[in-house]
Amino acid sequence: MDPQAPLFDTDQTCVELAEGFFMLSAFIDTAPLLAQIELIATEAMFRHMQVGGGKHMSVAMSNCGPWGWTSSSSGYQYSHTDPLTQRPWPSMPPSFMALAQAAAAAAGFDDFEPDACLINRYARGAALGVHQDRDERDLGQPIVSVSIGATATFQLGGLKRSESLRSLPLHDGDVLVWGGPSRLRFHGVKALKPTAGGPDTRHNLTFRKAK
């Protein structure tokens, strides 16, 4: 890649698809992000966290940053340490922080200071059930998500679980910002179906202000 090329494609448009929900298509070259994820996973391995009823999520997760999201038989929480190692989560790479802040700023959130980055890994068939993200202290802060690798079908709901879901493909390099009333929308990801010749795995970063 051209070393003089800008880090982010700042010319490209930030589209508001619903109140507080912004899409920045093909915002970032994901190859360097994937290299960072691989490094993080050497310290804090991907694992299938336990959810209610002794089940495990099909999505594998890790974290970086001061706080990491965890799920166990006793519920969801943010913790400073990886329960597998008792060590602090790997630090958030400066390039991750810069990306999250640039995306938030493009959507009009100027002072986003994420202190948690949840890293999801989807293999073929992995899915994320429809949920709300409400474990963070200040729901006035947005969430920034970054899609890497295989295309997934995202499901966007409303503020009530009963509302119908809209499908939206998420492509490699797409960055989404969720603020305002969209911060509490229900959402999920359908079972991953990698396409022939494309990447067989998807990663997703979600930057959050947890505390």
Q: Give me the residues that bind ligand MD3 (CB under 6 A), please.
A: 118, 120, 128, 133, 143, 145, 176, 178, 182-183, 185, 187, 189, 204, 206
The Cα 77–Cα 67 span in angstroms is 10
Q: Which does 126 bind (CB under 5 to 8 A by kind): ligand MD3, Fe ion, none?
A: none
Q: Which does 64 bind (CB under 5 to 8 A by kind): Fe ion, ligand MD3, none?
A: none
CB of 137 to ligand MD3, least distance (A): 15
Q: How many CB atoms lie within 10 A of CB 152?
A: 25
Stretch touching Fe ion by CB under 5 A, among 12-20, 46-54, 110-118, 129-137: 129-137
Q: Which residue pairs from 168-174 have beta carbons closer than 8 angstroms and sit at least 24 positions apart in sequence?
A: 170/204, 171/25, 171/26, 171/147, 172/26, 172/30, 172/147, 172/148, 172/199, 173/25, 173/26, 173/27, 173/28, 173/29, 173/30, 173/147, 173/148, 174/23, 174/24, 174/25, 174/26, 174/27, 174/146, 174/147
The Cα 130–Cα 153 span in angstroms is 12
3 state SS of 50: strand
Residue from 20, 21, 69, 133 touching Fe ion (CB under 5 A): that is 133
Q: Which is nearer to ligand MD3, 82 or 136 (CB)?
A: 136
CB of 99 to ligand MD3, least distance (A): 15
Task: By CB under 5 A, tell whether 136 contacts Fe ion.
Answer: no
Q: Which does 121 bind (CB under 5 to 8 A by kind): ligand MD3, Fe ion, none?
A: none
Q: Which is nearer to ligand MD3, 3 or 181 (CB)?
A: 181
CB of 187 to ligand MD3, least distance (A): 4
3 state SS of 55: coil
The radius of gyration computed from the CA coordinates of the chain, to the nearest angstrom, equals 16
Q: Which is nearer to Fe ion, 181 or 198 (CB)?
A: 181
Strand partners, 202: 122, 149
Q: Which does 203 bind (CB under 5 to 8 A by kind): ligand MD3, Fe ion, none?
A: none
Interface contacts to Fe ion, rule CB under 5 A:
133
